[in-house]
C-alpha cells in the first residue's frame, strides 16, 4: 500500500510555527534546561544521602555546626540559615509579582518587583559567602588523630564546646612558618594553627574541667564524651591541630561533610549569582523600555522560571544539609 504525503500547509505535522504545550521556543528551552539541571542536583543530593547513611555514626550534627549569626556572639542554631531561606523564598514571591505585572504591561511595577528580587538574591549570595567564611575559619578548633578522626573538647561542668583558646597553654618553643626570604630552598605551606599539638595536650592535662568528645554517636544520637582518664589517653593519638574546615580537613567531623557542603552549596550559590546577574540585565532592559516596544514581558517570565527553580532546589538543599 502506498502512503500519501501531504505537502499542504494544513497537512504538516511540524511546520515550525505551532507551539507545543502552548509554549514559545524560548520558554520550552528554559524548561529543558531546568529538567536537566534538576537531574544534576538530584545526583548530587543522592550522593550526599548515600555518604551520610554510610558514615552516619561520625557525621557532624548540623545544629552544632551552623550556629553563627553576624554581629552576635552565642549559640543560635539554624537562625541565620532560616533567615537566608526566608529571603530567598520572598524573592520568589516578588518575582511572581513581577511576572504578573508584566502580563498586565505595568512597567513601573515590573521595575519595582524586579528590583526587590535582585536585592533578595544579593542578600542570599552575600549571606552564603559569609557562612562559607565562618565555616572555613571555625571557632573552636579540634585535634586530628593518626587515624584521621576528629577529637573535640567540651567543658565537663556544662557540656558545652570548649575552644582551644579556653585551655591551651603557651609553651616556650619557636613555631615559625616557612618564608621565602630565608634559606636557599623554599617550600610554601599553609598558615600555622594558633596552637601546637603539644600546647593543646598540655592544656588538657592542666585543666581537669576539659574532656574530649569523639565523632562517634551514642545511643541518644549525641557525640560520645570520654571521661577524664580516657581523654588523657586519647590525646596521645593526636597528630595535628585542626582549625575550621576545608576540602582536606574538617574540625566539625567527617571530611566528606565539608566536601559536599562546599560543592553542593557552592554549585547552588553559583546558580543564584548567575540569576542575579541575569535579573540585573533584564532590569535595565525594562527601564530602557525594550519589552514595552516588543509588546510583551516574556523574558521576565522565562527568567522567573529559572529563579523559581533555584528557590525550589534550595528547599531540598536546606532540608538535606540543615534539617535532616
All three cell numbers of 156: 565537663
| Same-domain status, 262 and 123 | yes
| Same-domain status, 81 and 229 | no
State pLDDT tens for residues 139-169. 899 999 988 899 999 999 888 889 998 998 8
Last residue of a domain, one of 200, 220, 243: 243
| Same-domain status, 86 and 224 | no
Reported as a pLDDT band with limits 50, 70 and 90, residue 174 is low
| Same-domain status, 217 and 302 | no
3-state secondary structure at position 128: helix
3-state secondary structure at position 252: coil
All three cell numbers of 65: 555546626
| Same-domain status, 132 and 152 | no
Contacts of 41 (CB under 8 A, 6+ apart): 264, 267, 268, 313, 316, 317
Residue 184 domain-assigned? yes
Least confident of 1-15, 70-84, 122-136, 150-164: 1-15
Residue 51 domain-assigned? yes
CATH of the domain at 298: 1.20.120.80
Residue 250 domain-assigned? no
**Mean per-residue pLDDT over the chain, rounded:** 87
| Same-domain status, 196 and 300 | no
Last residue of a domain, one of 243, 276, 293: 243
Last residue of a domain, one of 243, 271, 296: 243
| Same-domain status, 184 and 218 | yes
Enclosing domain of residue 79: 24-138+257-323
| Same-domain status, 155 and 126 | no
All three cell numbers of 8: 499542504
3-state secondary structure at position 211: strand
State pLDDT tens for residues 78-120. 899 999 999 999 999 999 999 999 999 999 999 999 999 999 9
| Same-domain status, 39 and 120 | yes
| Same-domain status, 131 and 266 | yes
Average pLDDT over residues 278-302: 93
Give me the numbers of helices (H) and strands (E) for the chain, helices first please: 11, 5
User: How many separate domains does the chain show?
Assistant: 2
- Residue 64 sits at φ, ψ, to 5 deg, of -100, -5
Reported as a pLDDT band with limits 50, 70 and 90, residue 7 is very low
| Same-domain status, 203 and 232 | yes
With 80 as the cut, is the pLDDT of residue 246 above it? Answer: yes
With 70 as the cut, is the pLDDT of residue 277 above it? Answer: yes
| Rounded alpha-carbon distances, angstroms, from residue 155 to 160, 228, 242, 297 | 5, 11, 19, 60
Greatest distance between any 2 Cα atoms in the chain: 99
DSSP letter for each residue of 78-98: THHHHHHHHHHHHHHHHHHHH
| Same-domain status, 28 and 134 | yes
DSSP letter for each residue of 132-199: HHHHHH-SS-EEEETTS-EEEEEETTT--B--HHHH----S-------TTSSSS----PPPPSS-HHH
Amino acid at each position: 500500500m502506498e502512503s500519501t504525503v501531504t505537502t499542504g500547509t494544513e497537512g504538516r505535522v511540524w511546520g515550525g510555527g505551532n507551539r507545543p504545550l502552548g509554549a514559545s521556543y524560548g520558554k520550552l528551552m528554559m524548561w529543558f534546561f531546568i529538567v536537566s539541571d534538576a537531574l544534576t542536583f538530584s545526583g548530587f543530593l543522592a550522593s550526599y544521602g548515600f555518604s551520610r547513611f554510610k558514615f552516619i555514626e561520625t557525621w557532624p550534627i548540623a545544629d552544632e555546626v551552623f550556629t553563627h549569626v553576624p554581629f552576635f556572639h552565642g549559640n543560635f542554631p539554624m537562625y541565620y540559615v532560616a533567615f537566608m531561606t526566608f529571603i530567598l523564598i520572598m524573592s520568589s514571591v516578588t518575582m511572581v509579582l513581577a511576572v504578573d505585572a508584566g502580563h498586565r504591561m505595568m512597567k513601573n511595577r515590573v521595575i519595582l518587583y524586579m528590583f526587590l528580587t535582585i536585592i533578595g538574591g544579593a542578600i542570599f549570595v552575600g549571606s552564603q559567602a559569609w557562612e562559607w567564611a565562618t565555616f572555613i575559619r571555625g571557632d573552636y578548633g579540634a585535634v586530628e588523630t593518626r587515624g584521621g578522626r576528629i577529637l573535640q573538647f567540651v567543658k565537663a561542668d556544662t557540656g558545652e564546646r570548649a575552644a582551644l583558646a579556653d585551655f591551651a597553654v603557651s609553651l616556650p618553643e619557636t613555631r615559625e612558618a616557612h618564608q621565602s626570604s630565608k634559606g636557599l630552598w623554599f617550600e610554601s605551606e599553609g598558615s600555622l594553627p594558633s596552637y601546637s599539638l603539644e600546647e593543646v595536650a598540655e592544656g588538657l592535662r592542666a585543666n581537669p574541667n576539659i574532656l574530649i568528645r569523639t565523632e562517634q554517636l551514642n545511643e541518644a544520637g549525641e557525640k560520645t564524651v570520654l571521661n577524664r582518664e580516657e581523654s588523657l589517653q586519647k590525646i596521645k593519638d593526636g597528630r595535628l591541630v585542626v582549625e575550621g574546615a576545608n576540602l582536606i580537613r574538617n574540625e566539625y567531623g567527617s571530611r566528606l561533610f565539608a566536601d559536599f557542603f562546599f560543592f553542593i552549596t557552592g554549585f547552588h550559590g553559583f546558580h543564584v549569582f548567575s540569576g542575579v546577574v541575569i535579573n540585573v540585565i533584564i532590569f535595565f532592559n525594562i527601564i530602557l523600555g525594550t519589552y514595552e516596544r516588543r509588546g510583551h514581558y516574556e523574558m521576565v517570565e522565562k527568567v522567573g522560571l529559572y529563579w523559581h527553580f533555584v528557590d525550589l532546589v534550595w528547599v531540598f538543599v536546606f532540608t538535606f544539609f540543615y534539617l535532616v
